[in-house]
Amino acid sequence: MKKSKLRNAEELFFRGVMIISSSVIGLALFLILWSIIKRGLPALSWDMLTQTPKGGFYFGKEGGIANAIVGSLYLASGATLLAMILGIPVSLYMNVNLHKRKKLVNSIRFLLDVMWGIPSIVYGAFGFTFMIYFGMHSSLLAGILTVTLFIIPIMIRSIDEVLMSVPKGLMEASYSLGSTQSETSYKVFLRQCISGVTTAVLLSFGRAIGDAASVLFTTGYTDHMPTSLTQPTATLPLAIFFQMSSPIAEVKERAYASALILTVLILFISIIARIISTRYQKHKIKI
Amino acid sequence: MSGKPKIIIKDLNLHFGKQHVLRNVTANIPEKQITVILGPSGCGKTTLLKTMNRLTDLYPNVKLDGSIHIGNDDILHTKKDITEIRRHMGLLSQRPYPLPMNIFNNVAYGLRISGRKSKKYLKPRVKHYLEMANLWEEVKDRLHDSASSLSIGQQQRLCLARGLSVDPDIILADEPTSALDPLSSEVIENKFVELKSQYTIVMVTHSLQQARRIADYVIFMYLGEIIEQGPAKEFFNTPKQDLTKKYIKGLFN
Ligand SMILES: Nc1ncnc2c1ncn2[C@@H]1O[C@H](COP(=O)(O)OP(=O)(O)O)[C@@H](O)[C@H]1O
Ligand SMILES: [Mg+2]
């Protein structure tokens, strides 16, 4: 009797903790979105989306942040693409070719996890030192390379995590049909994990487009539309940062509008990625 | 012995790390017959089957000695490409693992990777193998559906069609009916009996009844060793070893 009372209390306690922590997270998310929408929406205008900053933009005059939107899209797409091109083969190699080398693969995983944990400002600083060494100026290209470096552990490890769940029987089925290792990788494993790959791409893109610290020194900032890989390029996180640090109230509001644009952009890309992944997921073998 | 041997296994020993899993296994598997590997679970049946197409390569810490001759090659020591050797064997596993693609592509996969890619060639081939596996009638209107939308029994027949498509001469099957309903099991069993005129079939089972129904040749294993082997009639009617007698009477698991 006593015991069951204790168990009930325990159950109640953990359920309480769960409910409280979920509500805190939910509330925090809601408040963030609410403040962005509440303060950003009134300041949002067509000009913000389509104009580059004119002379007095940062003092509250006309203009927009089209250059930062385009710059951010270039930067994040370029870095995500590069990270995919490097990351997909590496994660497949870890799970198919190095399948028997558990210890080696686990060390690689550990290293990547450490890299994942390094703050982006460190990548920024690293990229910056590198640029100085080669006499490069801050540019879209330097930014793309730095951000690629910074999202590649995210890309590899999140794809790796889904590849790890491919059943051994599927691997054996593939080899027993006479597949080579690369056929097993690209025709079987990759297809089985297509939704996981989409998630990984999405996660990486989100990190790439939202990060300010890694692009601060490497990509630089300008008021012009990006036209070349070798020119400095504006990005949304920095646009938000600069507007937010302005003492002028109007400009501050525009920072919220810019944050809203960034949020909607990420939301939009998430939805597209989900649609793509469900289209391909239907062939996944359920275990 | 009965019939010409297709697979000749000699002094095969396999260790998983320190565990001695196959002990001095020697057997001749007759051509174009159904050989059944019998034994209680954990005795090494699956492992023995996997050595025959070297799926044991996929496990770390495996030590293999001895030889397995198929045709003129000792497949354990050959310089030939292992993928080439595997193409001459179909595999059915305990539960079906269709490939993550549609039904048509599952059967076409093996043909495509061996270089036969034209749709014109593939279409009749796919139909042919699906018919061989008694699946065509059920799937002919949904060839572009995902393989995972089929029932487990249908999936196993799809895996059979897929295995046959590479035109093997050996079919390896590891308890292929243990996850299936009685009806699908029967289809697979009957199919094996039908197919043995063209293929050498090696099937693992732990079901005595199934072995009695379809085996031509029986290999009985216990704790990694072959206790007794021989043509099915002799094996079931006049077993020589005490362990075999006990097993046939159903005295252990
Ligand atoms: N990948 C593996 N690593 C280590 N030991 C294994 C592995 N696979 C099987 N074994 C061991 O080998 C023995 C035989 O297994 P198995 O061939 O699967 O038996 P069966 O198919 O007759 O049930 C068992 O004792 C099992 O624990
Ligand atoms: Mg087994």
Q: pLDDT tens across B35-49, in order? A: 999 999 899 999 999
pLDDT tens for residues A8-62? 888 999 999 999 999 999 999 999 999 999 999 998 889 888 888 887 777 877 8
Residue B215 C-alpha, separation from nearest chain A C-alpha, in angstroms: 24
Rounded mean pLDDT, B178-203: 91
Ligand 2 centre from B63 Cα, in Å?
19
Tally Cβ neighbours within 10 Å of residue B169: 15
Rounded mean pLDDT, B215-233: 93
User: Do the domain assignments include residue B15?
Assistant: no
Rounded mean pLDDT, A260-277: 88
pLDDT tens for residues B94-104? 999 999 999 99
pLDDT at B193: 94
In chain B, the number of structural domains is 1
pLDDT class for B3, splitting at 50, 70, 90? confident
In CATH, what number is assigned to the domain containing residue B131?
3.40.50.300
Domain boundaries, chain A: 2-40, 49-281
User: Do the domain assignments include residue B108?
Assistant: yes
pLDDT class for A281, splitting at 50, 70, 90? confident
Query: Which residues sit with their C-beta closer than 6 Å to ligand 1?
Result: B 16, 19, 21, 39, 41-47, 59
Measured in degrees and rounded to the nearest 5, phi and psi for residue B66 equal 105, -165
Reply yes or no on whether the pLDDT at B150 is more than 90. Answer: yes
Q: For A49-281, CATH number? A: 1.10.3720.10
User: Do the domain assignments include residue B209?
Assistant: yes
Rounded mean pLDDT, B107-116: 92
User: Do the domain assignments include residue B229?
Assistant: yes
- In sequence order, what are the beta bridge partners of B22? B14
Where does residue B213 rank: exposed (0-12), middle (13-18), buried (19+ CB within 10 A)? middle
pLDDT tens for residues A163-221? 999 999 999 999 999 999 999 999 999 999 988 899 899 989 999 999 989 998 899 89
Where b means 16+ CB within 10 Å and e means fewer, A123-154 reads bbbbbbeebeeeebebbbbbbbbbbbbbbbbb
Tokens, residue B175? 């308890």
Q: Which domain holds residue B197?
A: 31-53+87-248
Q: Give the ligand 1 atom nearest the CA of B59.
A: 1
Q: Shortest CB distance from A175 goes to which of B86, B98, B162? A: B86
Ligand 2 centre from A268 Cα, in Å?
49
User: Do the domain assignments include residue B72?
Assistant: no
Angle (nearest 5°) at CA B148 between B142 and B149: 50
Residues B122 and B117: their CA atoms lie apart, in Å, by 7
Residues from chain B contacting residue A172 (CB–CB below 8 Å)? 50, 55, 58, 91, 93, 97
User: Do the domain assignments include residue B63?
Assistant: no
Rounded mean pLDDT, A269-287: 81
User: Do the domain assignments include residue B78?
Assistant: no
- Is-contact A53 A66, C-beta < 8 A? no
- Is-contact A41 A34, C-beta < 8 A? no
Residues B159 and B90: their CA atoms lie apart, in Å, by 9
pLDDT class for B1, splitting at 50, 70, 90? very low
pLDDT at B183: 84
8 Å CB contact of A175 and B83:
yes
Rounded mean pLDDT, B53-75: 91
Residues B26 and B11: their CA atoms lie apart, in Å, by 5
Instruction: State the DSSP code for B82.
Output: H
Give the ligand whose atoms come closest to the C-alpha of residue B37. Answer: 1
Tally Cβ neighbours within 10 Å of residue A50: 11
Chain-wide mean pLDDT for chain B?
91
Q: Shortest CB distance from A169 goes to which of B60, B93, B148? A: B93
